[in-house]
């Protein structure tokens, strides 16, 4: 009787939600679709930046074209593009999903000194950050760097312990750094080619180290959705800032993990990790923020397909 009663109440909640909200959602790609990019060596990094773009598409999505944000396009699936100015561009991957035109756009730093900042997830230490150059070199070795060389500066001080044994080899393009204090810190990476050592480009990031920040609670987490293909309430979606790295996990009521995804957004279509539709029922979810901006969340969600 308890199980029947719970199912009845859940269905009533579902019907009520569908009655008050019938907004049609445009069909878009799932959060597992997108593209990656990395920098390639250039002779003069002060005047140009070469970038390799690779789509990340899974059937039924099919590649269409690239728009590089500088009036240039390409129909090559894996494309290399040279930007003639050092700037930030909005690059779009165009593709078809279930016969519909879809687009995913990311900011791309066309600068040989561009780097990313990440929390060290091995420790989650407040003052520790991982800096990675967008060349995405396989190893910190001159053999992998080719003719590119780098130098790190933190708050006006050139790092002296992030280099290779020979000073002419420059410094590691990927480093782990521990800040001395909280607050705003300025990190600069310089890059040059050994064939033109005087032509140096730089990339700057302001890193705010906070030790006592108040975490944000996720708002309006749904407790039911209907992934039945009618483009109404087809996804389990949670509003985010689009920056924090989130881990979203889904379990059966018996505790078996059926879905896991790491992304800056949460948009789930009710399928497991193999792409198979999960049966109707109640599932348990966990949302974890690797960057510590949001409070971790957990709860139950009901999949109702209505078929």
CATH number, domain with residue 246: 2.60.40
Mean pLDDT is highest, among 1-5, 140-144, 182-186, 202-206, for 202-206
Q: Half-sphere exposure of residue 267, counting CA atoms within 13 Å on the CB side?
A: 15
Task: Classify residue 21: in a domain, yes or no.
Answer: no
Distance CA 267, CA 209 (A): 29
Same-domain check for residues 197 and 234: no
The reply to whether 262 and 181 lie within a common domain is no
pLDDT at 251 over 70: yes
Q: How many domains does the chain have?
A: 3
**295 and 247: one domain?**
yes
Q: Does position 204 have pLDDT exceeding 90, yes or no? A: yes
Beta bridge partners of 190: 151, 202
Structural contact between residues 211 and 182, judged by C-beta atoms closer than 8 angstroms: yes
User: Is residue 57 in some structural domain?
Assistant: yes
Higher pLDDT, 259 or 58: 259
pLDDT given at position 14: 42
Asked, for residue 219, whether it belongs to a domain, the answer is yes
Asked if the structure places residue 20 within a domain, the reply is no
Diameter of the chain by CA atoms? 79
Q: Give domain status of residue 120, yes or no.
A: no
Q: What is the pLDDT of residue 127?
A: 83
Q: Which letter does DSSP use for residue 277 in this model?
A: B
With residue 224 as reference, give the H or E element that holds it: strand 224-225
Q: Are both 66 and 87 inside the same structural domain?
A: yes
In a domain, 13, yes or no: no
Last residue of a domain, one of 150, 182, 209: 209
Query: Does some domain include residue 218?
Result: yes
Q: Are residues 205 and 218 in the same domain?
A: no
Confidence check: pLDDT of 75 > 90: yes
Q: Is residue 97 part of a domain?
A: yes
Judge residue 80's burial from the number of C-beta atoms within 10 Å of its C-beta, 0-12 exposed, 13-18 middle, 19 or more buried.
exposed
From 204, 205, 200, 203, select the one nearest 42 (Cα to Cα). Answer: 200
Residue 65 maps to which CATH number?
2.60.40.10
> Domain end: 165, 191, 209, which one?
209
Q: Which of 71, 90, 110 is the last residue of a domain?
A: 110
Residues 227 and 296 in one domain: yes
Average pLDDT estimate for 246-265? 92
User: Looking at residue 2, what is its pLDDT?
Assistant: 39
Please tell me the least confidently modeled range out of 60-64, 115-119, 150-154, 291-295: 291-295
Q: Range of 191's domain? A: 138-209
> Order of strands across the sheet with 224-225?
224-225, 297-303, 281-289, 246-251, 257-263
What is the pLDDT, as a whole number, of residue 164?
Answer: 66
Residues 185 and 220 in one domain: no
pLDDT band for position 181 (cuts 50, 70, 90): confident
Dump pLDDT digits (tens) for 106-153: 999 999 999 999 887 777 677 888 899 999 988 777 778 899 999 999
Q: Tokens at residue 58, please? A: 């899974």
Same domain, 168 and 229: no
């Amino acid at each position: 009787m308890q199980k029947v009663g719970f199912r009845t109440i859940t269905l009533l909640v579902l019907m009520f939600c569908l009655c008050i909200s019938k907004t049609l959602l445009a069909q878009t790609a799932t959060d597992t679709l997108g593209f990656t990019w990395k920098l390639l060596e250039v002779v003069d990094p002060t005047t140009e930046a070469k970038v390799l773009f690779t789509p990340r598409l899974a059937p039924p999505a099919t590649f269409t074209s690239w728009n590089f944000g500088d009036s240039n396009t390409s129909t090559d699936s894996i494309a290399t593009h040279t930007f003639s100015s050092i700037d930030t561009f909005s690059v779009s991957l165009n593709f078809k999903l279930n016969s519909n035109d879809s687009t995913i756009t990311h900011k791309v730093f066309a600068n040989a000194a561009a780097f990313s900042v990440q929390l060290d997830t091995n420790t989650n230490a407040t003052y520790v950050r991982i800096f990675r150059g967008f060349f995405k070199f396989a190893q910190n070795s001159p053999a992998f760097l080719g003719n590119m060389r780098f130098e790190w500066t933190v708050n006006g001080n050139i790092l002296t312990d992030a280099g290779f044994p020979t000073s002419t080899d420059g410094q590691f393009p990927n480093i782990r750094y521990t800040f001395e204090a909280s607050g705003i810190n300025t990190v600069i990476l310089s890059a040059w080619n050994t064939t033109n050592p005087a032509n140096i480009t730089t990339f700057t990031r302001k890193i705010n180290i906070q030790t006592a920040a108040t975490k944000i609670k996720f708002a309006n987490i749904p407790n039911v959705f209907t992934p039945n293909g009618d483009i109404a309430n087809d996804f389990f979606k949670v509003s985010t800032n689009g920056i924090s790295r989130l881990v979203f996990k889904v379990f059966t009521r018996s505790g078996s993990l059926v879905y896991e995804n790491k992304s800056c957004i949460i948009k789930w279509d009710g399928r497991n990790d193999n792409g198979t539709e999960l049966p109707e029922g109640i599932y348990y979810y966990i949302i974890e923020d690797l960057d510590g901006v949001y409070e971790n969340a957990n709860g139950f969600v009901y999949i109702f397909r209505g078929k």
